[in-house]
A and B are shown apart, each in its own frame.
Chain A
Amino acid sequence: MPSALKHTLFIALPVLVIFAALPGVYQNHLLLFNFVIFLILAQGVNIIYGFTGYLPFGYVGFFGAGAYGFAVLVMHLHAPAIPAVLAAGLVGVVLGLLLTPLLRLSGAYFAIANLAASLAVLHLIANPALEQITRGPYGVSLSATFNPTYAYAAALVVLALTLGSVVFLKNSRSGLALQAVREDAVSASMAGVNVVRMRVIAWLASALVAGLAGGVYAWYVSVFYPDNVFSGEFSIFAIVFALFGGVASITGPIVGVVILYGIYNLIGFTTPQYFQLIYGLLIIGLVLFLPAGLVSLATRRGWHVP
């Protein structure tokens, strides 16, 4: 069996089936929805960081812009939810295009510039002068499209698309070329790879994913403020989850979300003080002992982890 098919059947499909079935047996649908959103965002971080090495500290910018793209279409054009979600993805891509010059920076400079860019987008949208368009700091309420069941289904579709992209990257020559670019851009160009183009493609793919996620998020919650959808927690969580599990793999970010977001929800609300402690220790332990993520426990033993 070709490995792309194997990865689809034994990794992507089970995740989708489980999250499609869970609402029937588990009452806290918002929590399940948040899991799906973080699975999408962690894989989006995986696409840009795992396959190219750019750490997107302002990743939430695409998510928030997508959420507001959805809101503006629904509020002003009375668009149905699905076209509005697609528009949210487009908003993510357009913002990604505007930010392509950031790809000239490297390391911490890129991370910081990306963070600054996401804050700039937040302040633009939250600007009271734009109240007519975005409702500024006062938040939006989208009762016209309110339908958590459909929004959840849409989130699963976006997750399917995202997992599909990562399976593709893991199994295609494009994915290999991206990893080569991450390892050594100069050598990649001497292998004939158009480095700039590959980076832009990965960047836009991860922007698309986050924009779509923002759109379904807006659809699901229907009432939100700029600070909600531009919360730095989205970026940080998505990055930490992806790194914890292990990037440049399909399973790593999934494992990271399930474990860390699971712990967060088990003890994060009831005993936040322990949660902070356990979280802190887990992350320090990871950085010190498993910088390549949990999956490297297996790869170090010579097991192949897709």
Chain B
Amino acid sequence: MSPERAPILSVSKLVKRFGGFYALDGLSFHVSSGEILGLVGPNGSGKTTAINVISGLYAPDGGEVVLEGASIGGVASHKLVHRGINRTFQVPKPFLSLTVRQNVEVALAYGGAASAPAMADLLEEYRLAEVANRPAADLNNAQQKMLDLVRALTTRPRLLLLDELAAGLNPAELDWIAGRIKALAQSGMAIIVVEHLMGFIEHITDRVIVLNAGKEIFEGKLAVAVKVPQVIEVFLGGEHAA
């Protein structure tokens, strides 16, 4: 392996509690520019919570989130967007009564990107050009996820967090989106991918973190992870048997 680049994001001993419940319990990991890191684990293991904390939706209750050397734990989301973080949502969250175009315009106007990518190109690339003038409420789930992604990309993130973007896509669409994600990483973006589809994760990630109950139980190649007894047990115990 070539010498590691300095990570763009590093998370150390991250804790997030809901009441007395530890959704994140001392999670540490890092990701570098151009890298695709998989975040996997059974339902409720804290994957979405990790993304929510990194993207500023929740302030951490302990530990540190460091972006390019600066601590960003508890910084408001819109500021993190301007500093190069963006994300999609497990359940897509477009502005339903606004048109697809208007959805993107908000991010164009407020995303703070010095040179935002052209909206027409993005809509074309993510297969939304034909519905550009329809309200987002008219889109199907997969299209709404693509709209989340286009909104995120419009702000030119350097760190992109994808929460189950591929769930619900058909095999052809999976191949297609895998290609898009790899191309984004090749352009230098750091990408964290949360996904239950192990084949998909295997195909696109360089490295995975396996989470269980808010803690990391494995870090490395997915092909290795699936042979680790503790990982197997966690997955067979959960509903998403590997």
Contacts and interface: CB of A to CB of B under 8 A. Distances in A.
B77 A186 contact: yes
Given A179-B95, A184-B95, A190 B81 contact: yes
A187 B97 CA distance: 13
A188 B94 contact: no
A106 interface: no
A189 B109 CA distance: 12
A191 B107 contact: yes
Q: Which one of A176, A179, A180 has the highest number of Cβ atoms from chain B below 10 Å of its Cβ?
A: A180
A190 B151 contact: yes
A276 interface: no
B97 A179 contact: yes
Contact of B94 (A176, A177, A184, A189): A184
Contacts of B151: 187, 190-191
A202 to B, nearest CB: 15
B90 interface: no
Interface residues of B, number: 31
Q: Mostly helix, strand, loop or mixed at chain A's interface? A: helix
Contacts of B107: 191-192
A190 B109 contact: no
A144 to B, nearest CB: 48
Given A189-B77, A190-B81, A180 B155 contact: no
B95 A173 contact: no
B13 to A, nearest CB: 26
A194 B110 CA distance: 9
Contact of A173 (B76, B78, B109): B109
Contacts of B87: 190
Contacts of B152: 190
B111 A191 contact: yes
B77 A176 contact: no
A184 B78 CA distance: 14
Contacts of B57: 186
Interface of A: 173, 176-177, 179-180, 183-184, 186-195
